[in-house]
């Protein structure tokens, strides 16, 4: 008897892929928590404003609120680099294997087509010489 999950049209993810996604989301969550708590304590923001501020930094949209302390500005500068870096790392870490296999399959198809064209050209050369 077959597993019902095998019959469905739902995509299945390998344990390795799920582990990659879990690690990546954990990284983003950790960075967000550090930023939220940091802005709460350094700038005195409430948690909603700290979440909003950190999410704008993490997505590269820039600070939506004016910071009042020098320590807050330094912390925001550091968190901007860390946050954007963690987002980019997450994208590469989770999508890298998929994009790599798509790229590899595309190259294999191009090479196969190139060999087919070469054979066709050589066959026409041989016919022209006869």
Specify the CATH number for the domain of residue 46: 1.10.287.70
In a domain? residue 26: yes
Looking at residue 77, what is its pLDDT? 92
3 occurs within a structural domain: no
Question: Per the domain annotation, does 12 fall within a domain?
Answer: no
DSSP conformational letter for 14? -
Q: Please choose, from the candidates 81, 1, 107, 83, the residue with its C-alpha nearest in 3D space to the C-alpha of residue 35.
A: 83
User: Could you identify the residue written with the tokens 């022209």?
Assistant: 128
85 and 59 Cβ atoms separated by less than 8 Å: no
Sign for the pseudo-dihedral over CA of 90, 95, 100, 106: negative
Q: Which residue has the tokens 């050369």?
A: 125
> Quick check: is 7 in a domain?
no
Low-confidence ranges of the chain (pLDDT < 50): 1
- Looking at residue 47, its pLDDT comes to 95
- Residue at 73 is within a domain: yes
Structure confidence at residue 69 (pLDDT): 92
pLDDT at 92: 86
Query: Range of 53's domain?
Result: 19-129
Q: Specify whether the CB–CB gap between 66 and 128 falls below 8 A.
A: no
Assess if residue 5 is contained within a domain: no
Query: How confident is the model at residue 71, as a pLDDT?
Result: 94
**pLDDT tens, 85-96?**
998 888 888 888
- In-domain check, residue 49: yes
In a domain, 47, yes or no: yes
Number of domains comprising the chain? 1
């Amino acid at each position: 008897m077959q597993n019902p999950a095998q019959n469905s049209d739902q995509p299945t993810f390998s344990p390795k892929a799920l582990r990659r996604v879990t690690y990546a989301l954990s990284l983003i969550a950790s960075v967000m928590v550090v930023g939220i708590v940091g802005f709460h304590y350094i700038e005195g923001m409430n948690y909603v404003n700290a979440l909003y501020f950190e999410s704008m930094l993490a997505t590269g949209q820039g600070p939506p609120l004016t910071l009042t302390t020098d320590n807050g500005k330094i912390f925001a500068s550091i968190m901007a680099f860390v946050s954007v870096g963690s987002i980019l790392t997450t994208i590469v870490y989770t999508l890298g294997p998929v994009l790599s296999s798509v790229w590899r399959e595309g190259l294999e198809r191009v090479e196969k087509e190139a060999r087919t064209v070469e054979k066709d050209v050589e066959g026409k050369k041989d016919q022209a010489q006869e």
